[in-house]
Amino acid sequence: MNRILLASRGGPVDKGFTISPAMIYLDHNATTPLHPKAREAMLPWLGGGSHGNPSSVHRFGQAAREAVEAAREQVAALLNARPLEVIFTASGTEANNAVLFHVARKAGRRGHLVISGIEHPSIREAAARLAEEGMEVTRVSPRGDGVVHVDEILAALRPDTRLAALMLANNELGTLQPVTAVADACHQRGIPVLCDAVQAVGKIPVDAPALGADYVVLGAHKFYGPLGAAALWVRSGVEISGHLVGGSQERRRRASTENVPALVGLGAAAAVAREEMPQRTVHLAALRDRFEAALPERVPGAIVHCQGSPRLPNTSNVAFQGVEGESLLIRLDLAGFAVSTGAACSSGSVEPSKTLLAAGISRDEALSSLRVSFGIGNTMADVDAFLAALAREVAELRRAIA
């Protein structure tokens, strides 16, 4: 059950790292368990004999500096980028905020921003704050396929547009967005592009320079690294001002003493992701496809959102007609399965997901939807056990309201 599996020739190999023997975890877009190799790399820095401030001159500091720079190289390698282009941050939210507030500061809080209507709240709410402060924001909704269309973004651009933000993979629907085409068109107009790739990195190959955006964001805890470590890739020659000021860390682009253990864990997770990428993508897609293929028969009336669109290999967002998503989530939790009704950040609220509404999904359907996000530790047996529980719980809920 739900152990970290490392793929090898012929299929996944069980590394025996049990997350929770009683539960099957299917919420990897919210956060992933720590990979044993990331944990192993971190342990010396967690009271295991190594410590130091990377800015210190003595050898403790030098060792910490070396560890941080090695992590930077590992992250750069995953992105096919140069280490100097990588700025470490504490979260994806921080990196996304940093770009929006940098652009706004440079523009004197004037001018226009274009964001997609399905951006993560760390972009959506940052843009909303900038709108309160005087900038104008255009939100471009996706079509029913969960994909924002290039021509609609282009139509929203204005001579005073300061930034366009388009995520690479949506956290709820898993749909992939046309970042490269948007970036090409924006660059012809001199407009920089922010790409939130937090959900994509570690699940599909992401080549930051080739993607075309000027800023690319990733977060360790979405690909088996630790919480508290993320990165902002900034294309060489593109400006970014320090959003945290103080010391001269991160080449004055992000002050504060580096979180050495977390960054070492991020680096290790990036190295494993790079090594395992082809097997990961295949394994995740096989789980997702088995789930979606069996679903119509096991749970009549289940609708997979955006099934025909380009999507992440691990994400299924499904509406269960006539059933309240929150009730189903709670019953599944009691039955031993962890899923989500939407972005983790908005869980606990009974409002339907803004992303599903933006994709044209009705309020009722959005409220009856669950997100299932598979991980590298899941097995085909997990999928089958989940399908059985889902069939039982949906039928019971439907009976209760009939």
Ligand X SMILES: Cc1ncc(COP(=O)(O)O)c(C=O)c1O
How far is the C-alpha of 173 from the C-alpha of 361, rounded, in Å?
Answer: 11
Q: How many residues bind ligand X (CB under 6 A)?
A: 15
Give the 3-state secondary structure of residue 9. coil
Of the listed pieces 85-93, 108-116, 184-192, 331-339, which binds ligand X according to CB under 6 A? 85-93
The smaller minimum CB distance to ligand X, of residues 6 and 230, is found at 230
| 177 belongs to the binding site for ligand X (CB under 6 A) | no
* Segment near ligand X (CB under 6 A); pick from 64-72, 91-99, 311-319, 353-361: 91-99
Query: Taking a C-beta distance cutoff of 8 angstroms, is the pair 75, 85 a contact?
Result: no
Site for ligand X, residues 218 to 277, rule: CB under 6 A: 219, 230
**Smallest gap, in angstroms, from Cβ of residue 159 to ligand X?**
29
Binders of ligand X among 351-380, rule CB under 6 A? none
Residue 196 makes contact with ligand X by CB under 6 A = yes
Shortest distance, CB of residue 172 to ligand X, whole angstroms?
8
Find the shortest distance in angstroms from Cβ 220 to ligand X. Answer: 8
β 230-234/86-89 pair status: antiparallel
How many alpha carbons fall within 13 Å on the CB side of residue 112? 11
258 or 393, CB closer to ligand X? 258
Site for ligand X in 120-149 (CB under 6 A): 120, 122
Q: Which residues are catalytic?
A: 345
d(Cα 101, Cα 108) in Å, to the nearest integer? 10
Can you say whether residue 111 is alpha, beta or left, with left for phi > 0 and alpha for psi between -120 and 50 degrees?
Answer: left
Nearer to ligand X among residue 197 and residue 299 (C-beta): 197
Q: How far is the CB of 231 from ligand X (least distance, A)?
A: 10
Q: Which stretch binds ligand X (CB under 6 A): 34-42, 86-94, 156-164, 326-334?
A: 86-94
Out of 167, 179, 185, 319, name the contact with ligand X by CB under 6 A: 167
Q: Which residue is listed with tokens 């598979």?
A: 374
Cα–Cα–Cα angle for 177, 182, 188, nearest 5°? 170
Nearest CB to ligand X, comparing residues 167 and 183: 167
Which of 32, 97, 161, 171: binder of ligand X (CB under 6 A)?
171
Q: Which is nearer to ligand X, 90 or 114 (CB)?
A: 90
Closer by beta carbon to ligand X, 138 or else 175:
175
| Nearest Cα residue to 364 out of 372, 355, 352 | 352
SS3 279: helix
The one-letter amino acid at 354: K
Distance CA 119, CA 172 (A): 10
How far apart (Å, rounded) are the C-alpha atoms in residues 216 and 168?
Answer: 9
Which residue type is seen at 135? M
| Pairing of β 161-165 and β 112-116 | parallel
Indicate the SS3 state at residue 59.
helix
Could you tell me which stretch among 89-97, 147-155, 245-253, 266-274 binds ligand X (CB under 6 A)? 89-97
Selected from 32, 199, 259, 340, the binder of ligand X by CB under 6 A is 199
Give residues with Cβ within 8 angstroms of 355, minimum separation 6. 118, 170, 171, 172, 173, 342, 343
**Token output for 237:** 């020659």
Nearest position to ligand X, beta carbon: 92
**Which range of residues in 4-12, 39-47, 62-70, 88-96 is near ligand X by CB under 6 A?**
88-96
Q: Given the complex with ligand X, which of 111 and 342 has the nearer CB atom?
A: 342
CA-closest candidate to residue 302, choices 226, 241, 365: 365
Neighbours of 62 (CB within 10 A): 13
Between 122 and 353, name the residue whose CB sits nearer to ligand X. Answer: 122
Q: How far apart are CA 221 and CA 208, in angstroms?
A: 19
Is 93 a binder of ligand X (CB under 6 A)?
A: yes
Q: Which of 33, 54, 92, 267 binds ligand X (CB under 6 A)?
A: 92
- d(C-alpha 165, C-alpha 196), whole Å: 8
Return the range that interacts with ligand X (CB under 6 A); candidates 57-65, 103-111, 153-161, 193-201: 193-201
- Give me the least distance between CB of 42 and ligand X, in Å please: 17
Interaction site with ligand X (CB under 6 A): 91-93, 96, 120, 122, 167, 171, 196, 198-199, 219, 230, 343-344
